[in-house]
């Protein structure tokens, strides 16, 4: 059963309201990192895995992409995408990433922003992506950093007796698999994978590593979101750019 938290009414409301605030880790850490890795989009065909409300799909056509497919498990997200980020050159598909089938279709670029940690079978998705890329096509994705997802129990700051943040806990690194947490609602499931699994699975599927980022905040983010400075103490995300080789 693929998880579809984004169709949960409370989660959807809270999450979309957060994203609309424009003051998020996505805005100042993750999206700038993903965008810094993008090739020229001019004339490119793009597949966006976990497209949400379609901001990135629209960004791609605005930057010259000839055609973008956005796929997302959440019908609420896809509905919003079709309303807010509609475009002749974008097709939105409501489907779990794992069930994606695009026969006879090849892409110049596959992008996935913070969706991979929701997927149980990473290897199957990487294999599918590799098969969907043209030669020298690129797969660029972000995911929660394994040093964040590792812990099974405590995930938050360890504090001293005065309540000051001391450091983060680290544990359970080699125990890959399901992690459950509260994020607006109970029971949000993500999957922990080690850095070696994230990388070697790409290499084993004909994708060469081009760049790995553990992004910090942009200067603007530091101004409007002071706590984001803590990204220097522990990065929340890892962003990977890989290229299809035959």
Cα separation, 4 vs 218, in Å, equals 31
CB 176, min distance to a second copy, A: 11
Cα separation, 48 vs 107, in Å, equals 10
Residue 206 backbone phi and psi in degrees, to 5: 75, 15
Measured from the CB atom, the residue of 54 and 215 that comes closer to a second copy is 215
CB 203, min distance to a second copy, A: 7
Nearest CA-CA partner of 55 in 24, 90, 25: 90
Q: Where does this chain bind a second copy (CB under 8 A)?
A: 147, 151, 154, 158, 166-175, 194-196, 199-200, 203, 208-214, 216, 231-235
Residue 59: is it exposed, middle or buried by C-beta count within 10 angstroms (0-12/13-18/19+)?
A: buried
Measured from the CB atom, the residue of 10 and 203 that comes closer to a second copy is 203
CB 152, min distance to a second copy, A: 10
Residue 99: is it exposed, middle or buried by C-beta count within 10 angstroms (0-12/13-18/19+)?
A: exposed
Which DSSP state fits 27?
Answer: I
Measured from the CB atom, the residue of 38 and 47 that comes closer to a second copy is 38
User: Structure tokens of 47?
Assistant: 């597949």
CB 171, min distance to a second copy, A: 4
Contacts of 221 (CB under 8 A, 6+ apart): 27, 28, 29, 228
CB 245, min distance to a second copy, A: 9
Measured from the CB atom, the residue of 41 and 207 that comes closer to a second copy is 207
Measured from the CB atom, the residue of 79 and 167 that comes closer to a second copy is 167
């Amino acid at each position: 059963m693929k998880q579809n938290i984004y169709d949960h009414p409370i989660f959807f409301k809270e999450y979309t309201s957060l994203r609309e605030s424009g003051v998020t880790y996505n805005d100042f850490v993750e999206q700038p990192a993903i965008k810094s890795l993008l090739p020229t989009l001019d004339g490119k065909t793009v597949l966006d895995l976990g497209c949400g409300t379609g901001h990135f799909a629209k960004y791609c056509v605005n930057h010259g992409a000839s055609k973008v497919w956005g796929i997302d498990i959440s019908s609420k997200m896809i509905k919003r995408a079709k309303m807010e980020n509609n475009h002749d050159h974008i097709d939105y598909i409501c489907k779990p990433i794992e069930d994606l089938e695009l026969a006879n279709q090849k892409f110049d670029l596959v992008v996935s922003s913070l969706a991979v940690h929701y997927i149980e079978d990473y290897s199957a998705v990487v294999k599918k992506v590799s098969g969907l890329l043209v030669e020298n096509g690129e797969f660029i994705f972000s995911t929660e950093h394994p040093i964040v997802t590792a812990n099974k129990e405590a995930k938050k700051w360890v504090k001293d007796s005065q309540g000051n943040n001391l450091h983060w806990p680290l544990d359970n690194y080699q125990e890959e698999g399901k992690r459950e947490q509260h994020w607006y609602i109970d029971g949000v499931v993500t999957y922990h994978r080690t850095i070696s699994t994230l990388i070697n699975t790409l290499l084993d599927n004909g994708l060469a590593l081009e760049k790995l980022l553990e992004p910090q905040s942009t200067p603007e983010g530091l101004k409007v979101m002071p706590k984001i400075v803590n990204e220097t103490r522990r990065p929340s995300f890892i962003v990977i750019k890989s290229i299809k080789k035959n």
